[in-house]
Amino acid sequence: MTGTAKTTLVTGGAGFIGSHMVDLLIGQGYKVRVIDNLVGGRERNIAHHRNNSHFSFEAADIRAYQPGHPVFAGVDYVFHFAGIGDIVPSIERPMEYMSANVQGTVHMLECSRAAGAKKFVYAASSSCYGLAKTPTREDHPIAPQYPYALSKYQGEQVALHWHRVYRLPVNSIRIFNAYGTRSRTSGAYGAVFGVFLKQKLAGKPFTVVGDGTQTRDFLYVTDVAEAFLKAATTAKTGEVWNLGAGSPQSVNRLVELLGGSVVHIPKRPGEPDCTFADITRIKRDLRWQAKVSFEEGVSRILSEIDYWRDAPLWEPESIAKATEGWFAALSA
């Protein structure tokens, strides 16, 4: 950057994607303020910035903030990652998800509007598409299958509403399957990487859902962060972009790269056999391109596998218990 450093705010900045967003911004010379309630995030993810004069951190819930709060003063770009990310528990706790992911977004939008932010970039989810046709374009019908997906989509609609009604410059990115170092290690049964990495550390077999041929559009987290920075600095507003690698990988391929034995567990209803982002628009509009191959990304994770040592260990019996409500609600 040249001239005076711009000021950015990263909500959920101690979390998985948020902390990598902080790294990128600091590396690019931005001033960075972080809000995180440390429920899903870890302060150690951003501890290496603690002595940087361009960095500050507040441990607080986004719903506690009101317009005029000093952390928003003079902010140029707001990157909104905060919210509840675990998918399976949303069946049991829908009110909590709606409060954090929808009302929490409203608080951040109002604070950003009052501060005159130049851009608000919302972290949306590809889960809004449900059981989608692939490759999936941004104009695909919306069909959320569970409360997490619904809450993230409603958060996006709120953000776009603030753009239309209040002229707040907003862009939204629908993330497909982000993976990488620092991915969640919460107590909830969730994303395949966190589950598998702890199983590998414990010498347990990988709990593969179904036959493992299902594919996911895995995108390495640093590529995600770069897309969000481009979405903030572009002149475009009111846009929605899909974000994936555009090259789905099977769970069986992931197991091959991680190395280990396998046990198969029942496929969950309401989950697609394939996620596959059509990334034509984001490549065209933002001149963005994924840089990290799946093989390289998995290698980077394995080099830091100790990060998942204190994550919960999931085995077939505990997974079955955790997903009882899921099966009861979503089975045909």
Residues 268-297 pLDDT 10s: 999 999 999 999 999 999 999 999 999 999
Residue 151, pLDDT above cutoff 80 = yes
In a domain? residue 160: yes
Phi, then psi, of 301 in degrees rounded to 5: -65, -45
Question: How much is the pLDDT for 189?
Answer: 83
User: Do 9 and 33 contact (CB within 8 A), yes or no?
Assistant: yes
In a domain? residue 2: no
Q: Which domain holds residue 266?
A: 7-330
In a domain? residue 189: yes
Query: 128 in the Ramachandran plot: left (φ > 0), alpha (ψ -120 to 50) or beta?
Result: alpha
Q: Per the structure, how many domains does the chain have?
A: 1
Q: Is the pTM of this model over 0.95?
A: yes
Q: At what angle do helices 16-27 and 221-233 cross, to 10 degrees?
A: 60
Q: What is the mean pLDDT of residues 172-198?
A: 91
1 — pLDDT class (breaks 50, 70, 90):
low
184 — pLDDT class (breaks 50, 70, 90):
confident
In a domain? residue 1: no
Q: Which CATH number fits the domain that encloses residue 277?
A: 3.40.50.720
Question: How much is the pLDDT for 191?
Answer: 83
Question: How much is the pLDDT for 165?
Answer: 98
In a domain? residue 83: yes
Residues 46-69 pLDDT 10s: 999 999 999 999 999 999 999 999
In a domain? residue 223: yes
* C-alpha 64, offset from chain centre: 22
The percent of residues in the chain predicted with pLDDT above 90, rounded, is 95
Residues with Cβ within 8 Å of residue 139, at least 6 apart in sequence: none
Q: Which of 208, 222, 219 is nearest to 247 (CA)?
A: 219
In a domain? residue 117: yes
Residues with Cβ within 8 Å of residue 270, at least 6 apart in sequence: 130, 131, 145, 146, 326, 330
Q: What mean pLDDT, rounded, does the chain reach?
A: 96
Question: How much is the pLDDT for 285?
Answer: 98
In a domain? residue 288: yes
Residues annotated as catalytic (active site), given as ranges = 148
Residue 3, pLDDT above cutoff 70 = no
Q: Judge residue 2's burial from the number of C-beta atoms within 10 Å of its C-beta, 0-12 exposed, 13-18 middle, 19 or more buried.
A: exposed
DSSP 191: -
Residues 225-278 pLDDT 10s: 999 999 999 999 999 999 999 999 999 999 999 999 999 999 999 999 999 999
